[in-house]
Structure formats: C-alpha cells, structure tokens
Amino acid sequence: MIRVPGIAGKAGSDDRGGHRKTLWLISFTDLISLMLAFFVLMYSMSEPEAERWTRLAKGVSEAIPAARSTASTPSDRPNDPGAAFNAMAVEARAAIDLHYLAALLGSHLRSNAELAVVDVRREDDRVVIRLPGERMFDPTGAAFTEEGRRVLFLLGAVIGRIGNRIELVGHAEHEDATGGVAWERALTRAVAVSAALRETGYRRDLVARAVMMPVDRAGIAGGGRLPVDIVVREEGAD
C-alpha cells in the first residue's frame, strides 16, 4: 500500500482565510474605543445642571455626614485665597529648609531693634527662637510685659509664614518643696505664648510642653521668668 501524504497548503489556506474573516474586529474595536473616549471628553466639558447638582449634593451629604456642604448650586466665583483648600494654602504649608530659615530669621531680627532681644540658633534638627523670660514676663511670670506683647506681635507676622511644625517649650527650674509648681509655671508660659501667636493670626497646630532647665542655669532669671523657646522642626505642619 502506498500512503500519499496530504498537501499542507490546503490546511494553511483555511487558517489564513479564517484570520481574514475576523480581521475587521480589530478596526471595529478601535472605532468603539475612539467613540467612547470622545463621548467621555464631551461629558467632562459639559456644564452640570443645577437641579441634578443639588440632588447629587443632597444625596451624598445624607449618605456621608462628613461630606455635608453649604453649597446648593455650582459657583462661578473665583477661588477664595483664605479658603481651607486651595493651591496657595497647600503651598504655604511646605516646610522651609532650616539652614535658610535660620539665616533669614537672624537677619530679620537683627534689622529690627524691638526684636533684637530674641535669640535664634540652629541646632541639629531644629531652629530655636528663644524668648528671654526677664523681658517677656513680669516678675511673677504670670503675665506678659508690654515689651513682651510687642515682641510677640511682631514675631507672629514672621512665624505665621513658616510651614514647618512648631513647638512652644517652657523651661522650668528644678522642683523645690512646693512640688510641681515650677513645671506647671513653665507649661503655662508656653501655652500663653501659643495663645498670643494665635491672636496674631497663626492658624496651624501648635504643641506646648515644658522641660527642666539644667542645674547650672536654673536660677539665672528667677523661677517665673525662665525663657520660652519657639522650636521650628524640619517636617511640615499637619
């Protein structure tokens, strides 16, 4: 018996014919994709209807309490520079390089006679602005002097432009028999300075704390008049 091999060309021609029959699907898919992109673009450029916008805002506010808003219709007003969320507000929170900040603050304070009493120094991971207790507070340490209020008013305009995280550190002398009074006094001074900065318009978070003064410096200005430090950290404000 003689076996005659089949002709490979016939089977191949059938396969190529099948490919030709489905080739149009590629062009059709491209056409559908282009049409979809076109209609999505047209929808994104359209103006929302006020009634539908109101219904959408109301539905979202009812479903998500945190998303409630006072807006009832789309607004054409320009962005408010003082708004909580806008590009300027976000950029203002950017942390400033501490080397640059220390040089800038030092130059600014030296050029103002009223702020010359404030000391600025650069440390490893912070810039420390030291407010002298004997100039800032009265003999009891419970209230600001007139000079102290003026210094904080002028300093607040500068601090308000810093986007770094800021801490207020009150220094306390080592405790005596009264127990706890010095620490409380130092923390009260730090909180008082933070409140004064708030009055000048500072709106970011502030941290107030107290630390013990080294023994060799504890009595330099009296228990109620130790310095308060404004500590500027490397990271940005929250």
pLDDT of 90 reads 42
**3-state SS, residue 238:** coil
pLDDT of 127 reads 92
- CATH 3.30.1330.60 placement within the chain: 98-236
**What angle in degrees, to the nearest 10, is found between the helix axes of 146-159 and 181-199?**
60
Architecture of domain 98-236: 2-Layer Sandwich (3.30)
Q: Check: pTM over 0.85? Answer yes or no.
A: no
pLDDT of 228 reads 92
Decide if pLDDT at 106 tops 70: yes
Q: Please check whether residue 170 is in contact with residue 210, taking contact to mean a CB–CB distance below 8 angstroms.
A: yes
Q: Which amino acid is at 104?
A: L
Highest mean pLDDT among 41-50, 104-113, 175-184, 217-226: 104-113
The conformation of residue 93, written as its DSSP 8-state character, comes to T
Q: Which of 228, 217, 234 is nearest to 130 (CA)?
A: 228
pLDDT of 91 reads 46
Decide if pLDDT at 1 tops 50: no
| Alpha-helical regions (H) of 71-223 | 87-92, 98-110, 133-136, 146-159, 181-199
- Of 26-30, 91-95, 106-110, 217-221, the poorest mean pLDDT is in 217-221
Decide if pLDDT at 2 tops 50: no
**3-state SS, residue 135:** helix
Confidence of residue 18 (pLDDT cuts 50, 70, 90): low
Confidence of residue 113 (pLDDT cuts 50, 70, 90): confident
Decide if pLDDT at 208 tops 80: yes
Query: Distance (Å, rounded) from C-alpha 83 to C-alpha 34?
Result: 39
> Residue 51: which H helix or E strand, with range?
helix 50-63
For all residues of the chain together, what is the average pLDDT?
75
How many CB atoms sit inside 10 A of residue 220's CB? 14
